[in-house]
Structure 1
Amino acid sequence: MLFTAVHVTGESMLPVLRSGDWLLVRRGAGIRPGDVVVARRPHGLIVKRAFRHTDDGWWLESDNQSAPGRRDSWDFGAVPEADIVGRVVLRYWPRPSARFPAPPG
């Protein structure tokens, strides 16, 4: 399957994405720094912003670093390329959007 749907939970990607949003993710799409991506972690799927590529994989960060329960590369390090599900191409519910602005700050 080329595309998959992912449900956003939590506040770690505010203000760009909110809990309850549904995203369309393109599997295997090329990733650049600044893209919003979905990755597999032992505790489940995460939606984060690709910050930079390292020798160990992608460094992924939350847009909202003060979110309760936030977990990103500051907690578990770079995410191996094999654990990147894909790049978010659009939010289709409840507010359709194919634009994901840069993180605040």
Structure 2
Amino acid sequence: MPEARLRWPLSAVLVTGPSMSPTLRHGDAVLVRRGGRAVRPGDVVVAVFRSRPDLLVVKRAVRPADGGWWLYGDNDLVTDDSRAYGVADVIGRVVARYWPRPGRLPSRRL
């Protein structure tokens, strides 16, 4: 079960790869909240693609789709998102980056 990967209401996740650049970079550490307010378009989330249940990803929520979410990375040159893998199930929302540049993440209107 994907939710087991984030056992606590607030968990740390390490970003790998360039798909969320410039918002998040490879090596950034973020805090992810399970529960709380509902996901909205523009939120940065941690999710699992239904077609790749073994892969935990950090992406931006674009729109609800088929009981899950359609997700995109912020880096348009990398398409390892819903364009390649389809609908994802969101596990939690990224609420802040805590390392190496602490701060809240900018929201994007979609």
1:48 is paired with a residue whose SS is strand
- TM-superposed CA distance for 1:76, in Å, is 1.4
Which TM-score applies when normalising by structure 2?
0.81
Q: CA deviation at 1:56?
A: 3.7
Taking the aligned partners of 1:63 and 1:95, their CA distance within structure 2 comes to 18
The answer to whether 1:94 aligns with 2:100 is: yes
Q: How does 1:1-105 map to 2 (within 5 A)?
A: 1-29=8-36, 30-41=38-49, 42-67=53-78, 70-79=79-88, 83-102=89-108
Percent of aligned pairs sharing the same letter: 54
What is the CA–CA distance in structure 2 between the aligned matches of 1:86 and 1:24, rounded to whole Å? 10
- Mark the runs of 5 or more structure 2 residues left unpaired by the alignment: 1-7
Deviations 1:31-66 (A, max 9, x none): 000000001243421000000012341000011021
Question: What's the secondary structure of 1:16's corresponding residue?
Answer: coil
Inter-partner Cα distance in structure 1 for 2:86 and 2:48: 13
Aligned residues: 98
- CA separation in 1, counterparts of 2:64 and 2:48? 16
1:28 and 1:75 map into 2 onto residues whose CA distance is 27
Q: Do 1:62 and 1:72's aligned partners in 2 also have CA atoms closer than 8 Å?
A: yes
**Matches of 1:5 and 1:102, distance apart in 2:** 22
Unaligned runs of 5+ in 1: none
